[in-house]
Amino acid sequence: MTTVSLIRKELKHYFYSPMAYVVICMFLVITGWFFANSLFLRREAELRGMLDVMPLLLMFFMPAVTMRSIAEERKVDTIQLVLTMPVREWQVTLSKYAASLILYAVTLAFSLFYPMLLYLLGSPDTGMIAASYLALLLIGASYISIGIFASTLTVNQVVAFITAFGIIFVLFVLSRLEMLFPLWMQAWIERVAVVPHFDNMLRGVIRSSDVVYFVTLNLLFLFLATYMLYRRRG
């Protein structure tokens, strides 16, 4: 079984059930409310009202999407069947990750209606919008990798959700508590926390350090998830 076959299997699991459509609809309703609130109540023709809440919103959405990715298969022992096939652990991890990322990318694609509306109302900064969507894709991908790792730790979906949420929350809240730490730790915290890197890209500045941060975060948790599957096979 190839990696592509595994990805197709995971995509069927999402899109042949109500799950994908529920996730997309809920995401669009919530983000649409923040976008409309900024546009019509504050009279600000920009995406900032929606973008500011995305790290917090995705903190709930991504663990919910990924919590059953491996935990459910471990519970019903189908993961053991998959691991007896001629596939490597990294292929299983990558297929779960890729399917969740495709679902998230499709959801983001539907939200492009918001910047399209801004173009009808005025002349928004195209570069800033492109950088903002790249930031959304990278932070969502990072949260997905964390969720998949958490799903390898338990057979209970609720525990997987709480574990992923806890890890993401720590990375999120570090920047909010930065001033409580000594000065020599603040620079380190700024490098580790998610929000500073995300905010940098929202300003329209795509720095290699921010991109490397998110890529590293993805690779780290995908490696840990693969290692946990390797241990289970062993």
Place 88 in a pLDDT band, splitting at 50, 70 and 90: confident
Q: b/e map of 67-98 (b: 16 or more CB within 10 Å)?
A: bbbbbbbbeeeebeebbeeebebbbbbbbbbb
For residue 43, name the pLDDT band (cuts at 50, 70, 90).
low
Query: What contacts 71, CB < 8 A, 6 or more positions away?
Result: 151, 152, 154, 155, 156, 157, 159, 160
Least confident of 25-29, 68-72, 130-134, 226-230: 68-72
Both ends of the chain: CA-CA distance in Å?
20
- What is the DSSP secondary-structure string of 90-137? HHHHHHHHHHHHHHHHHHHHHTTHHHHHHHHHS---HHHHHHHHHHHH
Average pLDDT over residues 163-177: 90
Q: Whole-model pTM?
A: 0.91
Close Cβ partners of 75 (under 8 Å, ≥ 6 residues apart):
155, 156
Q: What are phi and psi of 159, to 5 degrees?
A: -65, -40
For helices 89-110 and 3-15, give the axis angle rounded to 10 degrees: 40
pLDDT category of residue 41 using cuts at 50, 70 and 90:
low
Does the pLDDT value for residue 186 go beyond 80?
Answer: no
- The yes-or-no verdict on residue 136 having pLDDT over 70 is yes
Structural domain boundaries of the chain? 3-233
**pLDDT confidence band for 103 (50 / 70 / 90):** very high
Tokens 């053991």 appear where?
Answer: 80
Token duo for residue 138: 């990278």
